[in-house]
């Protein structure tokens, strides 16, 4: 019996129409009495702009548009999907899952699309490493025969978690969504290896400590981050996890055609590239335009590079990210 491989058929992404440059955000913060500058933001992060949703726009709305774009790229419709996984830390509701809400919205996109109803649908929560986790779970399920085609989405509205009195965090994040369509078949290639890791000792360095109880919010419902601690952990684990997936696939650093990293901070990305021996012209960069979109970050960057023609069929891609938890992981994909 031939081995089953998970192939990436199409990519898609979607950004809210409201774009805030650093200058826009600096002016907004100044009205609140908080001082910062474009130079300060760019020097420390590499970010020049980000996108925020308008009132009433939800994570599933962003996920829907990115999913339809990915399905179109794959030449498929919603009815061809039998597994939906959404990676998000900003779900529409406590429950049901954003994946189920997305399933309903996809089913309403056309009469034929109702065929997606009945597909398994669930969310994965690993913050900025969420898309890697979702990709790894989908790969395992497809290889096991639990599904044939999967829609894997990373979608976030992080603007609603930000403390706009804290300039060390509020300048970093944005909203958006990215999606991929996967298919199981017996052709070699596709997802070559994945790794997912976590270390719960560091739950406090990046978190949103509030929660809902009896109809009220307990704790602090905005993002908290110890930037230096996150940076120190990130640069170490990203190199290690990349080397681990290369070893699993029997490949070397020189076999990587493109690094598609989580777009959190240009310094972390540059450090990872150096350790992997990759020049920056082999690194997909969107952090300057999108900021940190958490679970949406990697699929947004991937779709951008595919649609620009930089990433081509047959090339090997190293996807990797870190997030609150502390979570991290990587996936080596032959596109």
Active site residues: 128, 262, 292
CA distance 276 to 58: 37
Closest by alpha carbon to 152, among 298, 268, 289? 298
Rounded to whole angstroms, the Cα distance separating 245 from 139 reads 14
- Residue 218: φ, ψ to 5°: -105, 145
Determine the Cα–Cα distance for residues 141 and 147; give it in Å rounded to an integer. 6
Give Cα separations from 326 to 56, 92, 198, 209 (angstroms): 31, 23, 5, 14
Angle at 75 between CA 69 and CA 79, to 5 degrees: 85
With CA atoms as reference, report the closest residue to 196 among 149, 265, 138.
Answer: 138
């Amino acid at each position: 019996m031939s081995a089953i491989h998970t192939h990436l058929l199409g990519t898609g992404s979607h950004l809210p129409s409201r774009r805030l440059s650093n200058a826009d955000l600096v002016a907004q913060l100044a009205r609140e009495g908080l001082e910062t500058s474009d130079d300060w933001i760019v020097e420390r992060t590499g970010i020049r702009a980000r996108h925020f949703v308008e009132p009433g726009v939800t994570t599933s709305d962003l996920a829907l548009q990115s999913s339809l774009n990915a399905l179109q790229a794959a030449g498929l419709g919603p009815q061809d999907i039998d597994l939906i996984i959404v990676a998000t830390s900003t779900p529409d509701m406590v429950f049901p899952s954003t994946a189920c809400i997305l399933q309903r919205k996809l089913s309403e996109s056309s009469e034929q699309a109702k065929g997606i109803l009945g597909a398994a649908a669930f969310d994965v929560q690993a913050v900025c490493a969420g898309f890697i986790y979702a990709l790894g779970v989908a790969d395992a399920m497809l290889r096991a025969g639990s599904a044939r085609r999967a829609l894997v989405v990373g979608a976030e509205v992080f603007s609603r978690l930000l403390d706009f009195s804290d300039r060390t965090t509020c300048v970093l994040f944005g909203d958006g969504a990215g999606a991929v369509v996967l298919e199981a078949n017996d052709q070699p290639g596709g997802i070559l290896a994945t790794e997912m890791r976590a270390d719960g000792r560091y739950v406090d360095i990046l978190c949103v400590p509030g929660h809902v109880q009896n109809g009220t919010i307990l704790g602090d419902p905005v993002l908290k981050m110890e930037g230096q601690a996150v940076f120190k952990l990130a640069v170490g684990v990203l190199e290690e996890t990349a080397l681990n997936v290369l070893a699993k696939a029997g490949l070397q650093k020189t076999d990587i055609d493109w690094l598609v990293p989580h777009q959190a901070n240009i310094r972390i990305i540059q450090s990872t590239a150096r350790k992997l021996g990759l020049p920056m012209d082999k690194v997909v960069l969107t952090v300057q335009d999108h900021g940190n979109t958490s679970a949406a970050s990697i699929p947004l960057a991937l779709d951008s590079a595919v649609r620009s023609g930089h990433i081509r069929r047959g090339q090997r891609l190293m996807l990797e990210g870190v997030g609150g938890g502390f979570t991290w992981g990587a996936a080596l994909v032959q596109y």
